[in-house]
Amino acid sequence: MALLDGKTGLLPRLAVTSVQKNGMAYLPYIGVCTFAMFTYFVFGLILNSGVTKTLPRAAYATMLLMIGQILLGLIMIPFLTYTNSYLIKGRKKELGLYSVLGMEKKHIYRMMFYETVLIYLLVVAGAIALGLLFYRLLFLILLNLAGLPVNITFKISRTAVAETCAFAGIVMLIRLVINLYQVKKSNPLDIMGESGKGEKELRLTGVWSVLGLFAMGYGYWIALGAKMNKDIFTYFFVAVFLVMVGTHLLFTSGSIQMLHFLKGKPGIYYRRENFIIISGMLYRMKKNAAGLANICIFSTMVIITVVCTVSLYLGLPGLIRSRYPFLIQAQFLGTADSLDAFEALHEEAEALAARNGVAIPDYRGYKEGPDVFRIEMNPEGEETAVNDFSAQLEQLFAAKAGFASYIDNGEAILEDKSMYGGLLFVGIAFGMIFLICLLIIMYYKQITEGFEDRKNFEVFKNVGMDDAEVRRTIRKQILLVFYLPLAGAFLHTMAGMHMVIILMGSIRFYERNLIIATTLGICVLFTLVYIFCYRRTARTYYRIVRR
Of 123 and 230, more confident: 123
Q: Round to whole Å and give the CA distance between 166 and 414.
A: 36
User: CB–CB of 57/418 below 8 Å?
Assistant: yes
pLDDT value of position 6: 45
Res. 39: pLDDT tops 70: yes
**What percentage of the chain exceeds 90 in pLDDT?**
12
Set out the domains of the chain in order of their start, with CATH numbers.
1-197 (no CATH), 204-322+414-451+467-536 (no CATH), 325-408 (3.30.70.260)
Tens digit of pLDDT for each residue in 126-151?
999 988 888 778 777 777 776 766 66
What pLDDT does 526 receive?
Answer: 92
Percent of the chain at pLDDT > 70 equals 78
Q: What are phi and psi of 445, to 5 degrees?
A: -60, -40
pLDDT of residue 2 exceeding 70: no
12-26, 105-119, 390-404, 525-539: range with lowest mean pLDDT: 12-26
Q: What is the pLDDT of residues 286-298, one digit of tens each?
A: 666 777 888 888 8
pLDDT > 70? residue 486: yes
* Segment 355-381 mean pLDDT: 82
- Range name among 79-88, 89-98, 406-415 with the lowest pLDDT average: 89-98
Return the pLDDT at 284: 62
Look at residue 188 in the predicted model and tell me its pLDDT. 61
pLDDT band of 68, cuts 50, 70, 90: confident
3-state helix, strand and coil shares in percent for the chain, rounded to the nearest 5: 80, 5, 15
Residue 192 predicted with pLDDT over 60: no
| Cβ burial 137-147 (10 Å sphere, 16+ → b, else e) | ebbeebbebbb
Task: Choose among 192, 19, 197: nearest CA to 93.
Answer: 192
Q: How far apart are CA 100 and CA 97, in angstroms?
A: 5
Q: For residues 218 and 98, which has the higher predicted lDDT (pLDDT)?
A: 218
pLDDT of 157 reads 78
Lowest mean pLDDT among 19-33, 38-52, 321-335, 464-478: 464-478
Residue 5 has pLDDT above 50, yes or no: no
pLDDT at 120 over 90: yes
Q: What's the CA gap between 37 and 124, in Å, rounded?
A: 7
Tell which residue, 416, 414, 412, 424, has the closest CA to residue 145.
424
Classify the C-alpha dihedral 217-219-222-224 as positive or negative. negative
Do the Cβ atoms of 209 and 253 come closer than 8 Å?
Answer: yes
Per the prediction, the chain carries an average pLDDT of 79
Q: What pLDDT does residue 3 have?
A: 47
**Residue of 9 and 25 predicted with greater confidence:** 25
Query: Is the pLDDT at 115 greater than 80, yes or no?
Result: yes
Task: Identify the pLDDT of residue 371.
Answer: 67
- Of the listed ranges 107-116, 151-160, 209-218, 351-360, the one predicted with least confidence: 151-160
